[in-house]
């Protein structure tokens, strides 16, 4: 059976992509942020997972408000990136995966998660920034990706507990796939931030650190939060915790924390990084 | 007080707001394309009219009034594309919304880490 060998949580802020475009990684603003990534890259390089299941949210590239799925999953051989309107350079296509993707889809529907299935999808910075952060210099092209998009843009959004359960269902599906391939799960986005309104710039370090601790030791402690609670406590875009919860849900039971970092600010955001391994 | 506002002075982008702002957001979504950004810059008011913005929405676009655009149904993710077209970073937009200079806004972000 396929095996989940680990999971990574990382922020996906567009400014990270721009900084990489411009080679700013070692400048004073960026150094502490980027210096946290080599241990995770090294681990990925040692483990050589075959497939990455990536929980992310689309910010108006593929999914406009006309047709915006609550949960969507890709089943395509390739995913392209494109101009998002504010200056981040599109990256070369991401390699897709269809066999495990369809196995997950069949299992999700059987599990009463009626996801939108995408046989063609343009992926935005929510997915591409983590890929280039974790596998720089187009190394990301060697890993097969299954994107899973969660609506974090328009309310109503899935409850945080529901995103966790989606992750659990996907985790079970992966582990029931008759294959010897290995899988890493990525949760991207967050942590606390608010871009809009008079409260723009709100960051809650204490809450972010609390979430990062609970994601390791007791994720179910976070499942009581509503999206309104997260908006209040972590800012309007703090609801992106959904992807970290889905990532953690995919890992059954206890985990080892192999690496973590938390850095303020990256753009308007408290930026988190976490590498987990099943026990 | 607007019903879609929560006590934190944040406009919740929900069904009613998405309905109110649909054309505005659709226009901003078009800014993913370089040709659309150029067309907007060539004649801003005409571009707004092409998407059927209300008079209030058009006025707020022309004035770069981000807070008002949020009130009128703009989603920050689409307004970010508008800001990008104007060459503004999210810190510039943060400053505009909070009445701070961009530098003061950046300072506030740094202090959140203390």
Question: A153 to chain B: which residues are within 8 Å by CB?
Answer: 13, 75, 77
Q: What is the pLDDT of residues B52-100, one digit of tens each?
A: 999 999 999 999 999 999 999 999 999 999 999 999 989 999 999 999 9
Among A59, A154, A265, whose Cβ lies nearest the Cβ of B18? A154
Choose, from A125, A155, A259, A263, the residue flagged as catalytic. Answer: A125
The pLDDT of residue B6 is 52
> Which of B13, B31, B37 shows the shortest C-beta gap to A155?
B13
Which domains are present in chain A? 3-253 (3.40.830.10)
Q: Is B79 on the interface with A (CB under 8 A)?
A: yes
- Check if B103 contacts A (Cβ < 8 Å): no
Residue B93 lies in a domain: no
Active site (annotated) includes residue A103: no
Q: B2 in contact with A at a CB cutoff of 8 Å?
A: no
Residue B56 belongs to a domain: yes
Which pLDDT value is given to residue B5? Answer: 43
> Residues with Cβ < 8 Å from A61, sequence gap 6 or more?
A82, A84, A122, A123, A124, B32
Work out the minimum CA distance from A149 to partner chain B, whole angstroms. Answer: 16
Pick from B9, B12, B39, B76 the residue to mutate for testing the A interface (most A CBs within 10 Å): B76
List the structure tokens of A59.
Answer: 């910010």
The pTM (predicted TM-score) of the whole model is 0.97
Q: Report DSSP state, residue A153.
A: S
Q: Do B8 and A200 touch (CB under 8 A)?
A: no
* CA closest to B4 among chain A residues: A155
Helix axes A241-250, A205-217, angle to 10 degrees: 10
A22 neighbourhood in chain B, CB within 8 Å: none
Per-residue exposure over A95-131, b if at least 16 CB sit within 10 Å of its own CB, e if not: bbbeebbebbbebbeebebebebbeebbbbbbbbbbb
CB-CB neighbors (< 8 A) of A271 in chain B:
none
Is A163 in contact with A169 (CB distance < 8 Å)? Answer: no
In a domain, B107, yes or no: no
DSSP designation for B33: S
Nearest chain A alpha carbon to B31: A85
Q: How far apart are CA A44 and CA A46, in angstroms?
A: 5
Whether A59 is catalytic is: no
What letter does residue B2 receive in the DSSP assignment? -
For residue range A10-22, list pLDDT tens digits in order: 999 999 999 999 9
Does a structural domain hold residue B95? no
Q: What pLDDT shows up at residue A88?
A: 85
3-state secondary structure of A143: coil
How confident is the model over B26-42, as a mean pLDDT?
97
pLDDT at B3 over 80: no
pLDDT tens, position by position, B16-27: 999 999 999 999
pLDDT band, very low/low/confident/very high, at B2 (cuts 50, 70, 90): very low
Q: B38 CB near a chain A CB, below 8 Å?
A: no
Tell me what pLDDT residue A279 has. 93
From the list A83, A86, A265, the residue facing B112 with the nearest CB is: A265
- Does some domain include residue B94? no
Low-confidence ranges of chain A (pLDDT < 70): none
Whether B57 is in a domain gets the answer yes
Q: Which of A12, A59, A193, A263 is catalytic?
A: A193
* Segments forming the whole domain that contains residue B69: 15-86
**Separation between Cα atoms, residue B29 and residue B78, nearest integer Å:** 6
Residue B64 placed within a domain: yes
Q: How many domains does chain B have?
A: 1
CB A105, CB A171: distance < 8 Å: no
- Please say whether the dihedral angle defined by the alpha carbons of residues B96, B99, B103 and B108, taken in this order, is positive or negative: negative
Question: CATH number of the domain that B57 lies in?
Answer: 1.10.700.10
For chain B, the 3-state helix, strand and coil shares in percent, each to the nearest 5, are 65, 0, 35
Domain membership flag for residue B54: yes
Record: contact B77-A59, CB cut-off 8 A: yes
- Using CA atoms, how far apart are residues A17 and B83, in angstroms rounded to an integer? 17
ipTM of this complex: 0.95
């Amino acid at each position: 059976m396929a095996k989940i060998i680990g999971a990574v949580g990382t922020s996906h802020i567009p400014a990270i992509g721009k900084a990489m475009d411009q080679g700013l990684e070692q400048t004073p603003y960026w150094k502490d942020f980027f210096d946290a990534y080599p241990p995770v890259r090294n681990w990925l390089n040692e483990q050589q997972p075959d497939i990455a299941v990536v929980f992310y949210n689309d910010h108006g590239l593929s999914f406009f408000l006309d047709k915006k799925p609550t949960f969507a999953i890709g089943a395509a051989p390739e995913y392209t990136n494109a101009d998002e309107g504010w200056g981040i350079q599109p990256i070369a296509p991401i390699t897709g995966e269809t066999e495990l993707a369809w196995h997950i889809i069949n299992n999700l529907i059987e599990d009463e998660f009626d996801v939108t299935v995408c046989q063609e999808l343009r992926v935005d910075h929510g997915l591409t920034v983590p890929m280039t952060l974790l596998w720089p210099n187009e190394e990301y092209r060697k890993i097969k990706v299954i994107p899973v998009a969660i609506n974090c843009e328009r309310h109503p959004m899935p409850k945080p507990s529901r995103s966790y359960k989606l992750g659990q269902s996907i985790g079970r599906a992966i582990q029931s796939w008759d294959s010897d391939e290995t899988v890493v799960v990525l949760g991207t986005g967050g942590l606390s931030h608010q871009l809009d309104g008079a409260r723009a710039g709100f960051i809650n370090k204490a809450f972010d650190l609390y979430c990062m601790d609970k994601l390791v030791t007791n994720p179910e402690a976070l499942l009581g939060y509503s999206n309104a609670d997260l908006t209040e406590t972590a800012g309007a875009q703090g609801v992106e915790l959904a992807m970290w919860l889905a990532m953690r849900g995919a890992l059954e039971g206890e985990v080892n924390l192999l690496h973590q970092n938390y850095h303020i600010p990256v753009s308007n955001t408290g930026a988190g990084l976490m590498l987990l391994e099943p026990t | 007080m607007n019903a879609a506002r929560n006590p934190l002075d944040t406009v919740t982008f929900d069904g009613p707001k998405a309905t109110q702002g649909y054309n505005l957001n659709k226009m901003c979504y078009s800014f993913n394309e370089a040709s659309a950004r150029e067309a907007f810059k060539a004649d801003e008011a005409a571009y707004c009219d092409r998407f059927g913005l209300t008079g209030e929405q058009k006025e707020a676009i022309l004035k770069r009034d981000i807070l008002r655009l949020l009130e009128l149904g703009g989603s920050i993710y689409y307004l970010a594309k508008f800001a990008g077209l104007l060459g503004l970073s999210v810190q510039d937009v943060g400053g505009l919304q909070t009445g701070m200079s961009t530098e003061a806004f950046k300072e506030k972000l740094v202090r959140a880490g203390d």
